[in-house]
């Protein structure tokens, strides 16, 4: 078993963005926004994955690590990039993968990022980490678990220069680059010598955290003010990306490059589940894949071995995920 509990669902968001990028045309007004969000999330994911290397050095018997756990507190969800727990304390990590130079100003707790000659104000990541820790503290309290909660902002790009005004220790002690992370955890370990939970309670907490974890299922169309009508329907040619391919006696044929495929409908149905909704009927499949025959649509749906409800006529098929 891995030391790190992978709860993160960023990959689902990234899959949805990829499906959207694969269907909307380049000249669509939302294209630049979708691409920039996609690149930003990919960089974030790379940054978080790079922390795995450091975190995997921690003792497996002492620590529990959760990546992307998402809990509900006072009616709202909060998601922690990483949560590290041992019998003596909990530590919330807010991670960013910023390059260039990050500066923390003492006045008004503002932070700025300098890159490629420009400087911009950014959300103070230490305050973000602090807020996450506050929510976790409340959540733990609601479950009668008493354990000190610490927080850190970790920048996963080791080349980034982090600067701060003098006398700003309130903020700077909650900041580190990823190469210093283990050192920081050692310091906490030395500071908290008293165990607040025993091994059994720690195990119980793990079960509770995993049972309360609610993965995010982002509505990607809503995010970009799109409706299902904005998504071009049809099977995409795997060779030249042309939409729609024509169905002809068991084959998908591309009118543009003449490519033939027996399975080109599979990614299209996956796009439907990611972008439109997680279920599909025979009629909806026919409309999306541009096929006329109820029998052919039924055969395609049966071949995918999807879970379903209902009898033959009003059967609804569901995405496997
Ligand atoms: Zn083609």
User: Containing H/E element for 144?
Assistant: none
How remote is the CA of residue 271 from the centroid of ligand 1, in Å? 18
Q: Which residues contact 272 (CB under 8 A, 6 or more apart)?
A: 280, 284, 285, 288
Question: Residue 210: which pLDDT band, with cuts at 50, 70 and 90?
Answer: very high
How remote is the CA of residue 257 from the centroid of ligand 1, in Å? 4
How remote is the CA of residue 260 from the centroid of ligand 1, in Å? 8
pTM of the predicted protein model: 0.80
How remote is the CA of residue 253 from the centroid of ligand 1, in Å? 8
How remote is the CA of residue 244 from the centroid of ligand 1, in Å? 9
How remote is the CA of residue 87 from the centroid of ligand 1, in Å? 58
Nearest-angstrom CA–CA distance, 210 and 71: 9
Structural domains for the chain: 4-212 (no CATH), 232-318 (1.10.10)
* Lowest model confidence (mean pLDDT) among 10-24, 65-79, 267-281: 10-24
- The predicted-structure confidence for 16-36, as pLDDT tens digits, reads as follows 999 999 999 999 999 999 999
Backbone torsion region of residue 60, taken as left when φ is above 0, otherwise alpha when ψ lies between -120 and 50, otherwise beta: alpha
Which of 172, 133, 179 is closest to 156 using CA atoms? 179
The predicted structure's pLDDT at residue 10: 57
Which of 281, 295, 244 is closest to 265 using CA atoms? 244
Helix (H, G, I), strand (E, B) or coil at 46: helix
How remote is the CA of residue 224 from the centroid of ligand 1, in Å? 28
What are the E-state strand segments in the chain? 4-6, 64-67, 70-73, 76-79, 82-85, 90-96, 101-104, 111-115, 118-122, 149-155, 161-164, 175-177, 246-248, 251-253, 260-261, 279-280, 308-309, 316-318
Cα angle 94, 100, 101; round to 5: 70
Question: Residue 274: which pLDDT band, with cuts at 50, 70 and 90?
Answer: very high
How remote is the CA of residue 292 from the centroid of ligand 1, in Å? 21
Provide the token pair at 216: 């995010």
How remote is the CA of residue 240 from the centroid of ligand 1, in Å? 4
* Lowest model confidence (mean pLDDT) among 176-180, 184-188, 210-214: 176-180
Question: Residue 2: which pLDDT band, with cuts at 50, 70 and 90?
Answer: low
The predicted structure's pLDDT at residue 1: 42
């Amino acid at each position: 078993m891995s030391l790190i509990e992978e709860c993160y669902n960023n990959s689902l968001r990234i899959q949805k963005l990829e499906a959207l990028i694969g269907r909307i045309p380049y000249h669509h007004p939302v294209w630049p926004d979708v691409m920039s969000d996609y690149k930003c999330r990919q960089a974030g994911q790379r940054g978080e994955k790079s922390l795995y290397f450091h975190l995997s050095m921690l003792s497996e018997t002492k620590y529990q690590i959760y990546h992307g756990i998402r809990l509900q507190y006072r009616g709202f969800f909060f998601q922690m990039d990483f949560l590290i727990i041992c019998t003596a304390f909990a530590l919330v990590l807010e991670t960013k993968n910023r390059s260039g130079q990050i500066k923390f100003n003492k006045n008004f707790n503002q932070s700025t990022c300098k890159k490629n000659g420009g400087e911009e104000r950014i959300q103070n990541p230490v305050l973000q980490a602090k807020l996450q820790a506050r929510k976790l503290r409340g959540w733990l309290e609601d479950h009668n678990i008493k354990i000190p909660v610490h927080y850190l902002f970790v920048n996963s790009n080791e080349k980034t220069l982090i600067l701060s005004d003098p006398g700003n220790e309130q903020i700077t002690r909650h900041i580190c680059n990823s190469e210093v992370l283990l050192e920081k955890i050692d310091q906490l370990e030395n500071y908290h010598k008293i165990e607040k939970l025993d091994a059994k309670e720690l195990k119980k907490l793990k079960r509770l955290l995993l049972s309360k974890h609610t993965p995010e299922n982002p509505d990607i169309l809503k995010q970009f003010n799109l409706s299902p009508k904005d998504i071009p329907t049809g099977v995409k040619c795997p060779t030249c990306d042309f939409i729609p391919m024509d169905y002809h006696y068991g084959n998908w044929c591309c009118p543009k490059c003449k490519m033939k495929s027996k399975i080109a409908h599979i990614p299209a149905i996956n796009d439907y589940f990611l972008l439109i909704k997680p279920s599909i009927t025979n009629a909806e499949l026919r409309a999306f894949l541009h096929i006329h025959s109820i029998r052919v649509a039924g055969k395609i749906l049966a071949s995918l071995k999807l879970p379903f409800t209902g009898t033959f006529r009003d059967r609804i098929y569901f995405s496997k995920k």
